[in-house]
Amino acid sequence: MIRVAACQYAIELHENWEAYAQHLENLCAEAAGQGARLLVLPEYAGLVLSGLLPTAVRSDLHGSIAGLQPWLPKWLTLCESIARRMNLYFVPGSAPELDADDRYRNRAWLFGPNGLLGTQDKLLMTRFEREQWNIVGGEGLRVFETEFGRLGILICYDNEFPLLARTLAEQEVDLILAPSCTDTEAGYHRVRIGAQARALENQIAVLHSPTVGLAPWSPALDENVGRAGLYVPPDYGMPANGVLALSEELMPSESRWLLHDLDLDEVRRVRREGQVFTRRDWPEQFTPERLKVLTQ
């Protein structure tokens, strides 16, 4: 059993490092103080650091991510320190990071009580990322070993593609972390529906953390809509609708944690004793006789 915490993360303007660092410390301490051991912030939560930049830079779509780069090492050091001191597994969200090939990738980090466990890049880019922001997709999926089970990370849009989650499931991942950033209610529901479908198909748990609120100072994070959620396969011993926990408001005015106790042994039990075996039966859909198109 582990208490997990997914943040509905309000995009706020912090114009100096001390204010931002105190904000992040206080936010994590709030969840840790309620017994959470796994904390997840959403996609592009790291881009809040662009508020530290001069107004003309942070209000420029491309200038903001370029100006963000010198702050990333300091931010990651702070995030690692929080995970170590508070004895947490911590995904501080994602941020666009410039790689050696001079391309930006949307990257999430996972820290544990003993330091950095690794990173996961977003693999499939939305239209905004491709056509306006020039952020490119990463390569490959990573599996993270923790004291309570194997984790994977699928960032936002990646949750809408079944084979990515299936690849993680075949590596015995028990829980997928789904940080997201969506600017419409439809976008939020696309990610949520994808997350629930991935939980059903693979008989695993998915923890979803979204951005919320209005940030007119940022051309990338200007509007944010979403509810935090924890999803499981709808089966024996689980909620009939597959929703283990869901935050109450779509757009709260401040950051809020969704905290819930998650028993991954119960999720594994469903894979052994469930009413259906979608995880086991997945390969059968690909047999030639089932994929052929029948004519009248």
Look at residue 123 in the predicted model and tell me its pLDDT.
98
**Kindly report the CA angle at 138 between 132 and 142, in degrees rounded to 5?**
145
Residues in CB range of 287: below 8 A, 6 or more apart: none
The CATH class that applies to domain 2-291 reads: alpha beta
Question: Do the Cβ atoms of 93 and 108 come closer than 8 Å?
Answer: yes
pTM of the model: 0.95
Question: Do the Cβ atoms of 91 and 109 come closer than 8 Å?
Answer: yes
Q: How far apart are CA 85 and CA 254, in angstroms?
A: 25
Look at residue 252 in the predicted model and tell me its pLDDT.
86
User: What is the 8-class DSSP label of residue 35?
Assistant: T
**Kindly report the CA angle at 263 between 259 and 268, in degrees rounded to 5?**
140
Q: How far apart are CA 125 and CA 31, in angstroms?
A: 31
Q: What is the pLDDT along the chain (296 residues), one digit of tens a residue?
A: 899 999 999 999 998 999 999 999 999 999 999 999 999 999 999 999 999 999 999 999 999 999 999 999 999 999 999 999 999 999 999 999 999 999 999 999 999 999 999 999 999 999 999 999 999 999 999 999 999 999 999 999 999 999 999 999 999 999 999 999 999 999 999 999 999 999 999 999 999 999 999 999 999 999 999 999 999 999 989 999 999 999 998 888 899 999 999 999 999 999 999 899 999 989 989 988 888 888 87
As given in the structure block, the two tokens for residue 64 are 């903001």
Residue at token pair 């969506």: 182
Look at residue 103 in the predicted model and tell me its pLDDT.
96
Phi, psi of 118 (to 5 degrees): 150, -175
Cite the beta strand spans of the chain per DSSP E.
2-10, 38-40, 89-91, 94-98, 104-112, 115-121, 135-136, 144-146, 149-153, 175-180, 205-214, 223-224, 229-231, 243-246, 256-262
User: What is the 8-class DSSP label of residue 282?
Assistant: G
The overall longest dimension of the chain from CA atoms, in Å, is: 70
